[in-house]
A and B are shown apart, each in its own frame.
Chain A
């Protein structure tokens, strides 16, 4: 524990908040603020309301997925199939909407996402296959199913409800998906800190054997966590389909990378047991902001791949270095 308090702090009569501790604990949030200010200062377009709305909108796609993924990672697992799952749910949504109405189609898509998430969970727990490999395989299956369901075509989704969901705003300036994202994070935060499920998730991620010996239904907890990810992914699919006014099998390629990068940069440890939902929220905003900046500066889309990968590895490196400082106590 550092005990440095700068003289500046003392003389300014500021409360005994350790600056270094604060920065470490709220690293991504601080980074976010710095990046926002920096970009805003450098580029005037960045400061416009339209652009800000766009950033919030883009952030909500990965952000909603990241909420569920955070809970899953807390329990010690990962889901690499979300890109395929998203495509599949989007295709199902777009195909069903003309026949049964948008609302029912959304419900169907959410249920599909949740159920397929449960399937992922069953494959991981009952077949005892390491999560990231199992979900890597399931990814192929979902993408293929999405192709089959859409016959390789792009399915249009142009209902007025979709328009509202994709481009509408609530409270004047906040895009609908962003408001829902806030809601999702509040719900997930509640689950993690106020429910037994949340505690079980942390226990399973912390020490699975001990959790089992303590009488926690480990398999069931895991499966539910995967289901939550599936549900969040389906929700993200709904909004993405709405925004694009269409759906196709590969509309979310690379989604899993972004979502996991968001969670990692948000501070959640890959080892499980601890979750940083607020960090994932900020991380989603941060990524969207960087992406947006790359676009504004005319940097090609291919750089996104490079940047996302770099951020993921850097964030992990920071985490690893930080925990090696702590274990030296």
Chain B
């Protein structure tokens, strides 16, 4: 890499930096613009889309996915992935639902969150101590946890009957805003603070950006990684609790494909797959985008498997944009002389 301007005593190219700022803003705004456009289109094409009920349902759908997606963004920032979030969502939903049959709501929720935390930490420990790549470990865990979820329920469903008010976690509204969305906003705020304003968050980005540099700086890479995966587990559990509140009846098959959605919204939201950064706000916006499209397709009575097809195509599309972004940045870096 050459940079002739800077050989005059440390002036980096100002054009480049302005462009970088522009692109950062564009990434967040890009999703926002796309979202607004889609919402408008949906309102026109799909009758009944812009009703209050439908919009709140869409936002609730988005919140459940977004919770898992925000955690996944953190995982991508540290340079890994967690393919087990779907299975963890299912298991934690089962834990919550089962405990609601014998204990109070707070205890059930805490138990579910702890389950997610423990599973996440376990992922982290296997990844760091056995030095196995994250995606393969979580790939294996995905299967193990799924198996456990099915075993524990023996393939049956678990109904939440003793605490019907549990559903307010899903249906309740504060000042017209659905509770799940508020939960997600709180999670977003907390994660944003952690990622951008704590040493832990900076270390996370360092590990994902240049692992060797992180090690050389004395960062305890193992500890940070384990904690990050623990965090991912917790967010997956939050997603599981919200899902159980929505459905009020859970089983071991929930959450299949959640990991794909979580990755898709992270990438679409502007988080680069190469690690080292995380666009949390973008992830939430992308979750809403995804839910909007799903909602519109539902209203238009498009069959479920077309939606499945759509998520796959969307992911490939989002990833291509990421690639294009990287290539453009590299090309701009070169435009001198």
Query: Once the chains bind, are B260 and A316 in contact (CB under 8 Å)?
Result: no
CB neighbors of B among A238-255 (8 A): 249, 254
Q: C-beta contact mask, A28-39 vs B, less than 8 Å → 1, else 0?
A: 000000000000
Task: Taking A140-B312, A254-B143 as given, write out 10 further A-B residue pairs in contact, using a Cβ cutoff of 8 Å, ordered by the A residue number.
Answer: A137-B260, A138-B312, A140-B257, A140-B308, A141-B313, A145-B309, A147-B305, A306-B143, A306-B151, A307-B147
Is B297 part of the contact surface with A, judged by Cβ < 8 Å? no
> Contacts of B308 on A, CB cut-off 8 Å?
140, 143-144, 147
> Contacts of B81 on A, CB cut-off 8 Å?
133
Query: Once the chains bind, are B312 and A313 in contact (CB under 8 Å)?
Result: no
> Contacts of B311 on A, CB cut-off 8 Å?
137, 140
> Contacts of B210 on A, CB cut-off 8 Å?
none
CB neighbors of B among A38-95 (8 A): none
> Contacting B135 at CB < 8 Å: which of A127, A132, A143, A310?
A132
CB proximity of B54 to chain A, nearest CB, Å: 24
Q: C-beta contact mask, A105-148 vs B, less than 8 Å → 1, else 0?
A: 00000000000000000010001111011101111110111011
Query: Once the chains bind, are B306 and A148 in contact (CB under 8 Å)?
Result: yes
Query: Once the chains bind, are B139 and A257 in contact (CB under 8 Å)?
Result: yes
> Contacts of B68 on A, CB cut-off 8 Å?
none
CB proximity of B276 to chain A, nearest CB, Å: 15
CB proximity of A224 to chain B, nearest CB, Å: 21
Query: Once the chains bind, are A310 and B319 in contact (CB under 8 Å)?
Result: no
Interface residues, chain B, with chain A CB atoms under 8 Å away: 81, 126, 130-133, 135-137, 139-148, 150-151, 154-155, 252, 257, 259-260, 263-264, 273, 305-306, 308-309, 311-313, 315-316, 319-320, 322-323, 326-327
Mostly, the B contact residues are: helix
Q: What residue of chain A has the Cβ atom nearest to residue B143's Cβ?
A: A309
A138 to B319, CA, bound (A): 12
Q: What residue of chain A has the Cβ atom nearest to residue B326's Cβ?
A: A128
Query: Once the chains bind, are A312 and B312 in contact (CB under 8 Å)?
Result: no
Query: Once the chains bind, are B273 and A133 in contact (CB under 8 Å)?
Result: yes
A171 to B144, CA, bound (A): 39
- Please count the residue pairs between chain A and chain B whose beta carbons lie under 8 angstroms apart in the complex: 132
CB proximity of A128 to chain B, nearest CB, Å: 5
> Contacts of B144 on A, CB cut-off 8 Å?
305-306, 309-310, 313
Mostly, the A contact residues are: helix
Q: Number of residues in A with C-beta < 8 Å to the partner?
A: 44
Query: Once the chains bind, are B313 and A313 in contact (CB under 8 Å)?
Result: no
Given A133-B263, A317-B130, A321-B130, verify A144-B312 contact (CB < 8 Å). Answer: yes
Would you give 14 A-B contacts (Cβ < 8 Å), ordered by A?
A127-B316, A130-B273, A139-B312, A141-B309, A141-B312, A148-B306, A254-B143, A257-B140, A257-B142, A305-B146, A312-B139, A313-B137, A316-B130, A321-B130
Q: What residue of chain B has the Cβ atom nearest to residue A256's Cβ?
A: B139
Query: Once the chains bind, are B137 and A270 in contact (CB under 8 Å)?
Result: no
